[in-house]
């Protein structure tokens, strides 16, 4: 493939371009597949048609920490923060038990504050 910053040919596994010193996929000036010059805003190469955004590092999209914290604080006894984080089953139980008489909601609140609360997919909440 080619360095997206300077167009130099680099190994597919290269983490840094030897010619310009940046990660080969970090640039936006050249197509990594055919070396055609690309527009910084284009998502596909106009010449060979490969997706240029596909190579960008995938950002893990976690749920928002502050949102979960506020939901738990204000609506924790209704399990709203559990619905927000995808724990629908637990959310229903908390709703029916009023957050385990508030104790369960309080425990969840503390877990969110200390940053050990995970959503249903196992991701930690993201502080933005």
Q: List interacting residues with Zn ion (CB under 5 A).
A: 3, 5-6, 8, 17, 19-20, 31, 33-34, 36, 45, 47-48
The CB-of-58 to Zn ion minimum distance in angstroms stands at 21
Query: Between residues 8 and 67, which has the closer beta carbon with respect to Zn ion?
Result: 8
Residue whose CB is less far from Zn ion, 34 or 95: 34
Report the nearest approach of Zn ion to the CB of residue 32 (Å): 8
Residues contacting residue 42 through CB under 8 Å, at least 6 positions apart: 52
Number of H helices and number of E strands within the chain?
Answer: 5, 0
- Look at the chain and count its residues: 128
Count of beta carbons in the 10 Å neighbourhood of residue 126:
16
Nearer to Zn ion, 34 or 111 (CB): 34
CB of 5 to Zn ion, least distance (A): 4
Token pair for residue 112? 């969110």
């Amino acid at each position: 493939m080619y360095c997206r910053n300077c167009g130099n040919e680099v190994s597919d596994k290269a983490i840094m371009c030897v010619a310009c010193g940046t990660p080969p996929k970090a640039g936006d000036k050249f197509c990594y597949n055919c070396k055609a010059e690309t527009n910084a805003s284009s998502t596909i190469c106009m010449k060979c048609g490969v997706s240029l955004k596909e190579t960008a590092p995938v950002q893990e999209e976690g749920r928002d920490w502050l949102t979960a914290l506020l939901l738990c604080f204000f609506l924790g006894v209704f399990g709203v923060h559990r619905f927000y984080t995808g724990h629908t089953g637990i959310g229903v139980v908390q709703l029916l038990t009023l957050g385990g008489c508030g104790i369960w909601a309080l425990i969840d609140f503390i877990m969110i504050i200390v940053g050990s609360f995970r959503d249903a997919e196992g991701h930690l909440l993201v502080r933005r």
